[in-house]
Amino acid sequence: IQRAWEEDWSDLPRCDIAVASRSTLVADMRQAMSKLNNQARLRVYTTHLVSTSFVSPAIQRAAGREVIELPNYIFALNVLYQMGIYAHVDFIRGQNCQQDNSTWERFEQNVSWSLGALNDDERERLYRWYQQQDARALATASRDWALIWWDSVPQETLR
């Protein structure tokens, strides 16, 4: 069953496990984790970013953009801890599909895919910056995720 975070879940039946994967960049982490916990009789599984951004802050700065960093798995763990949930963490190593920056064209395509369309000024700034870099070191080889899981706890014991 798929349901948006913002939707009412009261009509959903409780299930043995609840899973939220690659969907946990939410406005209210506490509310989201509570919703999942309340739906699961046994266990909850969620995945979260390990890194705080999809694009290196150095690349964002080189383009002249404001550096945007997102809450990562540490934030989710802290929220769960504050709720009285002692969660487990495992890591999933995944290949970074944007690691080939061997040419300016590939690099520009990768950055545009992540940041959206680049204007002429951003493209020029990035081009000058790219010329000074080792293309092999511009992207990490992996895109890692944290798998956070816990045994569901009764709603009345949550803090």
* Annotated domain spans of the chain: 15-157
Cα–Cα distance, 43 to 45 (Å, whole number): 7
The model carries a pTM of 0.81
> How many other C-beta atoms are found inside a 10 Å radius of the C-beta of residue 112?
14
If phi > 0 it is left, if psi is from -120 to 50 it is alpha, else beta; for residue 19 that is beta
Q: How many Å is the maximal CA-CA distance in the chain?
A: 58
Q: What confidence tens digit (pLDDT) does each residue in 2-47 have?
A: 889 999 999 999 999 999 998 999 999 999 999 999 999 999 999 9
**pLDDT score at 96:** 65
- Using alpha carbons, select from 79, 86, 82, 62 the residue that is nearest to residue 24: 79
Classified as helix, coil or strand, 27 is coil
Cα–Cα distance, 14 to 31 (Å, whole number): 17
Cα–Cα distance, 138 to 56 (Å, whole number): 8
Q: Which CATH number is 15-157 given?
A: 3.40.50.150
Q: Tell me: pLDDT of 135 over 80.
A: no
Cα–Cα distance, 77 to 94 (Å, whole number): 21
> How many other C-beta atoms are found inside a 10 Å radius of the C-beta of residue 145?
21
For 31-45, 77-91, 92-106, which range has the lowest pLDDT when averaged over its residues? 92-106
DSSP for residue 137:
G
Cα–Cα distance, 57 to 67 (Å, whole number): 6
